[in-house]
Amino acid sequence: MSEPRGLGSAALVRLVAAREISARVRDKNFIISSIVILVLLLGTLGLQVALGSGEEQTRVGVVGDVSALGPAMEAQGQALDVDVAVVELDDEAAARTAIADGDVDGVLVDQASAAPRLLVEQSAGGPLQAVVQGAVAQLALADQLAQAGVTSLEIPEVAVTALDPEADANGQRVVVAIIGVGVLYGLLILFGQFVAQGVVEEKASRVVELLLATMKPWQLLAGKILGLGVLGLAQIVTIAAIGVGGALAFDLVDIPGELIGTALSVVLWFVLGYAFYAAIFAVAASLVSRQEDLGTVVMPTTLVLVVAFIVGIQASAEPDGALAVITSYVPGLSPLVMPVRQAAGEVALWEMGLAVVLMLVAVGVIVRLGGRVYAGALLRTSGKTKIREALRADRL
Protein backbone atom coordinates (compact mmCIF):
# COMPACT_ATOMS: atom_id res chain seq x y z
CA MET A 1 0.00 0.00 0.00
CA SER A 2 1.65 3.25 -1.09
CA GLU A 3 1.32 6.61 0.59
CA PRO A 4 0.01 9.64 -1.34
CA ARG A 5 2.81 11.45 -3.15
CA GLY A 6 4.25 14.27 -1.06
CA LEU A 7 2.67 13.14 2.19
CA GLY A 8 4.74 11.26 4.72
CA SER A 9 3.54 9.29 7.72
CA ALA A 10 3.62 12.31 10.03
CA ALA A 11 1.50 14.38 7.65
CA LEU A 12 -1.06 11.59 7.29
CA VAL A 13 -1.27 11.15 11.05
CA ARG A 14 -1.80 14.90 11.46
CA LEU A 15 -4.55 14.86 8.82
CA VAL A 16 -6.43 12.09 10.63
CA ALA A 17 -5.90 13.86 13.96
CA ALA A 18 -7.28 17.13 12.59
CA ARG A 19 -10.25 15.28 11.14
CA GLU A 20 -11.03 13.70 14.53
CA ILE A 21 -10.74 17.02 16.35
CA SER A 22 -12.97 18.78 13.83
CA ALA A 23 -15.60 16.03 14.01
CA ARG A 24 -15.70 15.83 17.83
CA VAL A 25 -15.83 19.54 18.63
CA ARG A 26 -19.09 19.62 16.69
CA ASP A 27 -20.40 16.44 18.30
CA LYS A 28 -23.29 17.18 20.67
CA ASN A 29 -22.24 14.42 23.07
CA PHE A 30 -18.82 16.03 23.48
CA ILE A 31 -20.34 19.49 23.94
CA ILE A 32 -22.89 18.27 26.49
CA SER A 33 -20.32 16.28 28.46
CA SER A 34 -17.97 19.27 28.56
CA ILE A 35 -20.73 21.54 29.83
CA VAL A 36 -21.80 18.99 32.46
CA ILE A 37 -18.23 18.62 33.75
CA LEU A 38 -17.73 22.39 33.97
CA VAL A 39 -21.10 22.87 35.69
CA LEU A 40 -20.24 20.18 38.25
CA LEU A 41 -16.83 21.75 38.85
CA LEU A 42 -18.25 25.25 39.26
CA GLY A 43 -21.00 23.84 41.47
CA THR A 44 -18.40 22.20 43.70
CA LEU A 45 -16.48 25.47 43.98
CA GLY A 46 -19.68 27.35 44.74
CA LEU A 47 -20.64 24.85 47.42
CA GLN A 48 -17.23 25.18 49.05
CA VAL A 49 -17.53 28.97 49.01
CA ALA A 50 -21.03 28.77 50.52
CA LEU A 51 -19.88 26.39 53.25
CA GLY A 52 -16.84 28.54 53.96
CA SER A 53 -18.89 31.71 54.19
CA GLY A 54 -21.48 30.05 56.41
CA GLU A 55 -19.41 30.70 59.57
CA GLU A 56 -21.46 33.47 61.20
CA GLN A 57 -20.07 35.94 63.65
CA THR A 58 -21.32 35.70 67.24
CA ARG A 59 -22.49 39.15 68.28
CA VAL A 60 -22.85 39.71 72.03
CA GLY A 61 -24.43 42.81 73.50
CA VAL A 62 -23.48 44.21 76.90
CA VAL A 63 -25.52 46.75 78.86
CA GLY A 64 -23.04 49.10 80.46
CA ASP A 65 -19.28 49.39 80.27
CA VAL A 66 -17.55 46.89 77.99
CA SER A 67 -13.97 47.89 78.71
CA ALA A 68 -13.39 44.79 80.82
CA LEU A 69 -15.95 42.36 79.44
CA GLY A 70 -15.18 43.08 75.78
CA PRO A 71 -11.56 41.84 75.82
CA ALA A 72 -12.56 38.91 78.05
CA MET A 73 -15.27 37.77 75.63
CA GLU A 74 -12.96 38.16 72.64
CA ALA A 75 -10.33 36.08 74.43
CA GLN A 76 -12.92 33.38 75.11
CA GLY A 77 -13.92 33.46 71.44
CA GLN A 78 -10.30 32.95 70.36
CA ALA A 79 -10.00 29.99 72.72
CA LEU A 80 -13.15 28.46 71.22
CA ASP A 81 -12.17 29.42 67.65
CA VAL A 82 -15.24 31.66 67.39
CA ASP A 83 -15.39 35.16 65.89
CA VAL A 84 -16.88 37.33 68.66
CA ALA A 85 -18.06 40.93 68.31
CA VAL A 86 -19.06 42.86 71.45
CA VAL A 87 -21.72 45.60 71.18
CA GLU A 88 -22.27 48.17 73.95
CA LEU A 89 -25.93 49.02 74.67
CA ASP A 90 -27.46 51.69 76.89
CA ASP A 91 -30.16 49.81 78.79
CA GLU A 92 -32.32 46.69 78.87
CA ALA A 93 -34.91 48.21 76.56
CA ALA A 94 -32.24 48.80 73.91
CA ALA A 95 -31.04 45.26 74.52
CA ARG A 96 -34.48 43.78 73.85
CA THR A 97 -34.83 45.87 70.69
CA ALA A 98 -31.41 44.75 69.39
CA ILE A 99 -32.33 41.10 69.96
CA ALA A 100 -35.70 41.50 68.25
CA ASP A 101 -34.08 43.21 65.28
CA GLY A 102 -31.46 40.48 64.99
CA ASP A 103 -28.58 42.86 65.60
CA VAL A 104 -27.15 40.67 68.38
CA ASP A 105 -27.44 37.02 69.38
CA GLY A 106 -27.74 37.80 73.09
CA VAL A 107 -27.24 40.60 75.61
CA LEU A 108 -25.65 40.45 79.05
CA VAL A 109 -27.48 42.66 81.57
CA ASP A 110 -26.88 43.32 85.26
CA GLN A 111 -23.22 42.52 84.74
CA ALA A 112 -22.16 44.16 88.01
CA SER A 113 -24.67 42.25 90.14
CA ALA A 114 -24.26 38.85 91.77
CA ALA A 115 -26.73 37.37 89.29
CA PRO A 116 -26.05 38.67 85.77
CA ARG A 117 -28.57 37.69 83.11
CA LEU A 118 -28.19 36.73 79.46
CA LEU A 119 -31.12 37.77 77.29
CA VAL A 120 -31.69 35.74 74.11
CA GLU A 121 -34.55 35.38 71.66
CA GLN A 122 -35.14 31.66 72.15
CA SER A 123 -32.07 29.84 73.49
CA ALA A 124 -28.36 30.41 73.99
CA GLY A 125 -27.35 27.93 71.34
CA GLY A 126 -23.91 27.42 69.86
CA PRO A 127 -20.92 29.12 71.48
CA LEU A 128 -22.87 32.12 72.85
CA GLN A 129 -23.35 30.87 76.41
CA ALA A 130 -19.84 29.44 76.62
CA VAL A 131 -18.31 32.77 75.58
CA VAL A 132 -20.39 34.85 78.02
CA GLN A 133 -20.08 32.40 80.92
CA GLY A 134 -16.33 32.10 80.48
CA ALA A 135 -15.80 35.86 80.36
CA VAL A 136 -18.01 36.51 83.41
CA ALA A 137 -16.27 33.73 85.36
CA GLN A 138 -12.85 35.08 84.41
CA LEU A 139 -13.68 38.61 85.61
CA ALA A 140 -15.38 37.33 88.78
CA LEU A 141 -12.35 35.23 89.65
CA ALA A 142 -10.01 38.16 89.06
CA ASP A 143 -12.19 40.39 91.27
CA GLN A 144 -12.32 37.86 94.11
CA LEU A 145 -8.56 37.34 93.99
CA ALA A 146 -8.04 41.09 94.13
CA GLN A 147 -10.30 41.33 97.20
CA ALA A 148 -8.23 38.57 98.81
CA GLY A 149 -5.05 40.55 98.22
CA VAL A 150 -3.82 38.54 95.25
CA THR A 151 -2.98 41.08 92.59
CA SER A 152 -1.25 38.82 90.09
CA LEU A 153 -0.99 35.17 89.19
CA GLU A 154 1.77 33.36 87.38
CA ILE A 155 -0.11 31.21 84.90
CA PRO A 156 2.13 28.99 82.79
CA GLU A 157 1.57 29.15 79.06
CA VAL A 158 0.66 25.81 77.56
CA ALA A 159 2.92 24.89 74.66
CA VAL A 160 1.15 23.28 71.71
CA THR A 161 2.95 20.40 69.99
CA ALA A 162 1.38 19.28 66.71
CA LEU A 163 1.81 15.55 66.12
CA ASP A 164 0.93 15.97 62.45
CA PRO A 165 1.44 19.63 61.43
CA GLU A 166 0.88 18.76 57.76
CA ALA A 167 -2.52 17.13 58.36
CA ASP A 168 -4.55 20.01 56.90
CA ALA A 169 -2.22 20.32 53.91
CA ASN A 170 -2.38 16.56 53.28
CA GLY A 171 -6.16 16.64 53.53
CA GLN A 172 -6.42 19.40 50.93
CA ARG A 173 -4.07 17.57 48.58
CA VAL A 174 -6.09 14.36 48.93
CA VAL A 175 -9.38 16.13 48.18
CA VAL A 176 -7.85 17.76 45.10
CA ALA A 177 -6.40 14.42 43.96
CA ILE A 178 -9.71 12.59 44.42
CA ILE A 179 -11.58 15.24 42.43
CA GLY A 180 -8.87 15.15 39.77
CA VAL A 181 -8.91 11.36 39.54
CA GLY A 182 -12.70 11.46 39.27
CA VAL A 183 -12.43 13.84 36.32
CA LEU A 184 -9.62 11.73 34.83
CA TYR A 185 -11.75 8.57 35.16
CA GLY A 186 -14.69 10.22 33.43
CA LEU A 187 -12.56 11.60 30.60
CA LEU A 188 -10.79 8.28 30.00
CA ILE A 189 -14.12 6.52 29.61
CA LEU A 190 -15.58 9.36 27.54
CA PHE A 191 -12.70 9.64 25.07
CA GLY A 192 -12.20 5.88 24.98
CA GLN A 193 -15.84 5.60 23.90
CA PHE A 194 -15.29 8.33 21.30
CA VAL A 195 -12.38 6.35 19.83
CA ALA A 196 -14.38 3.11 19.82
CA GLN A 197 -17.49 4.67 18.29
CA GLY A 198 -15.43 6.34 15.58
CA VAL A 199 -13.84 3.03 14.59
CA VAL A 200 -17.20 1.24 14.37
CA GLU A 201 -18.80 4.11 12.46
CA GLU A 202 -16.04 4.00 9.87
CA LYS A 203 -16.34 0.22 9.52
CA ALA A 204 -20.13 0.30 9.24
CA SER A 205 -20.14 3.07 6.63
CA ARG A 206 -17.21 1.51 4.72
CA VAL A 207 -15.35 4.84 5.02
CA VAL A 208 -12.42 2.90 6.40
CA GLU A 209 -11.92 1.23 3.01
CA LEU A 210 -11.37 4.63 1.42
CA LEU A 211 -9.05 5.70 4.21
CA LEU A 212 -6.96 2.55 4.01
CA ALA A 213 -6.57 3.08 0.28
CA THR A 214 -4.42 6.11 1.05
CA MET A 215 -2.76 5.23 4.37
CA LYS A 216 -1.66 2.33 6.49
CA PRO A 217 -3.76 1.03 9.42
CA TRP A 218 -1.22 2.16 12.03
CA GLN A 219 -1.32 5.70 10.63
CA LEU A 220 -5.10 5.76 10.91
CA LEU A 221 -4.93 4.40 14.46
CA ALA A 222 -2.20 6.84 15.49
CA GLY A 223 -4.05 9.83 14.03
CA LYS A 224 -7.30 8.88 15.70
CA ILE A 225 -5.63 8.46 19.11
CA LEU A 226 -3.57 11.63 18.70
CA GLY A 227 -6.49 13.82 17.63
CA LEU A 228 -8.81 12.80 20.43
CA GLY A 229 -5.86 12.84 22.84
CA VAL A 230 -5.14 16.48 22.05
CA LEU A 231 -8.81 17.27 22.55
CA GLY A 232 -8.92 15.37 25.84
CA LEU A 233 -5.72 17.00 27.05
CA ALA A 234 -7.09 20.45 26.23
CA GLN A 235 -10.26 19.62 28.14
CA ILE A 236 -8.54 18.34 31.29
CA VAL A 237 -6.08 21.27 31.25
CA THR A 238 -9.02 23.67 30.99
CA ILE A 239 -10.79 21.91 33.86
CA ALA A 240 -7.62 21.95 35.96
CA ALA A 241 -7.03 25.64 35.24
CA ILE A 242 -10.59 26.59 36.17
CA GLY A 243 -10.50 24.41 39.28
CA VAL A 244 -7.13 25.68 40.51
CA GLY A 245 -7.92 29.28 39.58
CA GLY A 246 -11.29 29.14 41.34
CA ALA A 247 -9.84 27.53 44.47
CA LEU A 248 -7.13 30.19 44.68
CA ALA A 249 -9.46 33.08 43.85
CA PHE A 250 -11.96 32.10 46.55
CA ASP A 251 -9.19 31.22 49.03
CA LEU A 252 -10.38 27.63 49.41
CA VAL A 253 -6.88 26.22 49.89
CA ASP A 254 -3.92 27.18 52.05
CA ILE A 255 -1.28 25.47 49.90
CA PRO A 256 -1.42 26.88 46.35
CA GLY A 257 1.91 25.27 45.37
CA GLU A 258 0.77 21.81 46.46
CA LEU A 259 -2.58 22.30 44.74
CA ILE A 260 -0.94 23.18 41.43
CA GLY A 261 1.49 20.26 41.77
CA THR A 262 -1.34 17.78 42.38
CA ALA A 263 -3.32 19.14 39.42
CA LEU A 264 -0.27 18.84 37.14
CA SER A 265 0.27 15.27 38.32
CA VAL A 266 -3.30 14.36 37.35
CA VAL A 267 -2.87 15.98 33.93
CA LEU A 268 0.38 14.08 33.25
CA TRP A 269 -1.15 10.78 34.31
CA PHE A 270 -4.05 11.48 31.95
CA VAL A 271 -1.60 11.52 29.03
CA LEU A 272 -0.26 8.06 29.93
CA GLY A 273 -3.67 6.67 30.83
CA TYR A 274 -5.27 7.94 27.64
CA ALA A 275 -2.52 6.48 25.42
CA PHE A 276 -3.02 3.12 27.11
CA TYR A 277 -6.80 2.95 27.12
CA ALA A 278 -7.43 4.66 23.78
CA ALA A 279 -5.39 2.00 22.00
CA ILE A 280 -7.30 -0.77 23.80
CA PHE A 281 -10.69 0.80 23.03
CA ALA A 282 -9.75 1.23 19.35
CA VAL A 283 -8.52 -2.35 19.02
CA ALA A 284 -11.61 -3.73 20.78
CA ALA A 285 -13.92 -1.69 18.55
CA SER A 286 -12.17 -2.94 15.40
CA LEU A 287 -13.39 -6.46 16.26
CA VAL A 288 -17.05 -5.57 15.68
CA SER A 289 -18.99 -3.91 12.87
CA ARG A 290 -22.12 -2.67 14.63
CA GLN A 291 -22.68 -0.14 17.41
CA GLU A 292 -24.97 -2.70 19.09
CA ASP A 293 -22.00 -5.01 19.64
CA LEU A 294 -19.67 -2.29 20.89
CA GLY A 295 -20.71 -2.50 24.53
CA THR A 296 -19.75 -6.17 24.72
CA VAL A 297 -16.16 -5.73 23.55
CA VAL A 298 -15.39 -2.57 25.54
CA MET A 299 -17.01 -3.78 28.77
CA PRO A 300 -13.87 -5.54 30.13
CA THR A 301 -11.79 -2.38 29.65
CA THR A 302 -14.49 -0.24 31.27
CA LEU A 303 -14.57 -2.60 34.26
CA VAL A 304 -10.80 -2.24 34.66
CA LEU A 305 -11.24 1.52 34.77
CA VAL A 306 -13.98 1.17 37.40
CA VAL A 307 -11.74 -1.05 39.53
CA ALA A 308 -8.86 1.42 39.16
CA PHE A 309 -11.10 4.30 40.26
CA ILE A 310 -12.36 2.39 43.33
CA VAL A 311 -8.82 1.42 44.33
CA GLY A 312 -7.71 5.03 43.83
CA ILE A 313 -10.40 6.28 46.23
CA GLN A 314 -9.40 3.58 48.73
CA ALA A 315 -5.77 4.67 48.46
CA SER A 316 -6.69 8.04 49.98
CA ALA A 317 -7.40 6.29 53.30
CA GLU A 318 -4.49 3.82 53.18
CA PRO A 319 -1.81 5.20 50.83
CA ASP A 320 0.80 2.81 52.25
CA GLY A 321 -1.47 -0.25 52.23
CA ALA A 322 -0.45 -3.26 50.17
CA LEU A 323 -3.33 -2.85 47.71
CA ALA A 324 -2.59 0.82 47.02
CA VAL A 325 1.17 0.29 46.72
CA ILE A 326 0.94 -2.70 44.37
CA THR A 327 -1.76 -1.26 42.12
CA SER A 328 0.11 2.05 41.81
CA TYR A 329 2.70 0.16 39.75
CA VAL A 330 0.24 -1.90 37.65
CA PRO A 331 -0.16 -0.42 34.12
CA GLY A 332 -3.75 0.64 33.56
CA LEU A 333 -4.41 1.03 37.28
CA SER A 334 -1.51 3.36 38.13
CA PRO A 335 -2.97 6.51 36.43
CA LEU A 336 -5.89 6.47 38.89
CA VAL A 337 -4.01 5.25 41.97
CA MET A 338 -0.59 6.92 41.95
CA PRO A 339 -1.88 10.55 42.01
CA VAL A 340 -3.91 9.79 45.14
CA ARG A 341 -0.97 7.99 46.77
CA GLN A 342 1.23 10.98 46.02
CA ALA A 343 -1.26 13.35 47.63
CA ALA A 344 -2.08 11.18 50.65
CA GLY A 345 1.43 10.12 51.63
CA GLU A 346 5.08 10.13 50.81
CA VAL A 347 5.95 8.52 47.47
CA ALA A 348 9.63 8.13 46.69
CA LEU A 349 10.95 9.45 43.40
CA TRP A 350 12.02 5.95 42.34
CA GLU A 351 8.44 4.72 42.88
CA MET A 352 7.11 7.40 40.56
CA GLY A 353 9.79 6.62 38.00
CA LEU A 354 9.06 2.89 38.13
CA ALA A 355 5.32 3.43 37.67
CA VAL A 356 5.90 5.73 34.69
CA VAL A 357 8.40 3.35 33.06
CA LEU A 358 6.07 0.37 33.47
CA MET A 359 3.22 2.41 32.00
CA LEU A 360 5.35 3.49 29.02
CA VAL A 361 6.38 -0.12 28.36
CA ALA A 362 2.76 -1.23 28.56
CA VAL A 363 1.69 1.52 26.16
CA GLY A 364 4.38 0.42 23.71
CA VAL A 365 3.28 -3.23 23.89
CA ILE A 366 -0.41 -2.37 23.57
CA VAL A 367 0.18 -0.07 20.60
CA ARG A 368 2.40 -2.60 18.83
CA LEU A 369 0.24 -5.67 19.44
CA GLY A 370 -2.99 -3.71 19.19
CA GLY A 371 -1.89 -2.20 15.90
CA ARG A 372 -1.59 -5.68 14.41
CA VAL A 373 -5.06 -6.66 15.66
CA TYR A 374 -6.46 -3.35 14.43
CA ALA A 375 -4.91 -3.83 10.98
CA GLY A 376 -6.17 -7.39 10.67
CA ALA A 377 -9.72 -6.70 11.85
CA LEU A 378 -10.42 -3.31 10.33
CA LEU A 379 -11.58 -4.54 6.92
CA ARG A 380 -13.66 -7.40 8.30
CA THR A 381 -17.15 -5.93 8.25
CA SER A 382 -19.26 -9.01 8.89
CA GLY A 383 -20.01 -10.07 12.46
CA LYS A 384 -17.42 -10.23 15.23
CA THR A 385 -13.76 -10.95 14.62
CA LYS A 386 -11.67 -12.94 17.07
CA ILE A 387 -8.26 -11.60 18.06
CA ARG A 388 -6.56 -14.73 16.73
CA GLU A 389 -8.25 -14.30 13.35
CA ALA A 390 -7.23 -10.63 13.23
CA LEU A 391 -3.59 -11.48 13.97
CA ARG A 392 -3.63 -14.19 11.33
CA ALA A 393 -5.14 -11.81 8.77
CA ASP A 394 -2.44 -9.21 9.53
CA ARG A 395 0.28 -11.70 8.57
CA LEU A 396 -1.27 -12.31 5.17
Q: Are residues 286 and 187 in the same domain?
A: yes
Please, which pLDDT band fits residue 1 given cuts at 50, 70 and 90?
very low
Q: Which of 89, 171, 77, 176 minimizes the C-alpha distance to 133? A: 77
Q: Are residues 225 and 242 in the same domain?
A: yes
Domain annotation covers residue 158: no
Res 168: pLDDT: 60
Tally of domains within the chain? 2
Q: Which of 272, 351, 340, 270 minimizes the C-alpha distance to 312? A: 340
pLDDT in tens, 289-298: 788 888 888 8
Greater pLDDT, 330 or 388: 330
- The residues near 200 (Cβ < 8 Å, ≥ 6 apart) are 285, 288, 289, 290, 291, 294
Q: How far apart are CA 328 and CA 322, in angstroms?
A: 10
Average model confidence (pLDDT) for the chain?
79
Domain annotation covers residue 262: yes
Domain annotation covers residue 160: no
Q: Are residues 332 and 238 in the same domain?
A: yes
pLDDT in tens, 119-153: 888 776 667 778 788 777 877 777 777 777 766 65
Mean pLDDT over 322-344 rounds to 89
Res 151: pLDDT: 63
Q: Are residues 209 and 329 in the same domain?
A: yes
Q: Are residues 130 and 192 in the same domain?
A: no
HEC readout, 75-125: HHHHHCCCCEEEEEECCHHHHHHHHHCCCCCEEEECCCCCCCEEEECCCCC
Measured in whole angstroms, the distance separating CA 247 from the mean position of its chain's CA atoms is 11
Q: Are residues 258 and 352 in the same domain?
A: yes
User: What domain range includes position 230?
Assistant: 9-50+168-395
- Res. 301: pLDDT tops 50: yes
Mean pLDDT over 98-106 rounds to 85
Q: Are residues 97 and 174 in the same domain?
A: no
pLDDT in tens, 2-29: 455 556 778 888 888 888 888 888 888 8
- Res. 273: pLDDT tops 70: yes
Q: Are residues 172 and 140 in the same domain?
A: no
Res 355: pLDDT: 93
Mean pLDDT over 65-93 rounds to 80
Res 2: pLDDT: 46
Q: Are residues 45 and 97 in the same domain?
A: no
Domain annotation covers residue 163: no
Greater pLDDT, 166 or 31: 31
Q: CATH number, domain at 119?
A: 3.40.190.10
Q: Are residues 40 and 83 in the same domain?
A: no
Q: Are residues 248 and 390 in the same domain?
A: yes
Asked whether 339 and 269 are in contact (CB, 8 A), the reply is yes
Domain annotation covers residue 4: no
pLDDT in tens, 183-219: 888 888 888 888 888 888 777 777 777 777 787 777 8
- Res. 389: pLDDT tops 60: yes
Rg (CA), the chain: 32
Give the burial class of 119: count Cβ atoms within 10 A of its Cβ; 0-12 exposed, 13-18 middle, 19 or more buried. Answer: middle
Measured in whole angstroms, the distance separating CA 305 from the mean position of its chain's CA atoms is 17
Greater pLDDT, 323 or 164: 323
Q: Are residues 101 and 249 in the same domain?
A: no
Greater pLDDT, 231 or 145: 231
- Res. 268: pLDDT tops 80: yes
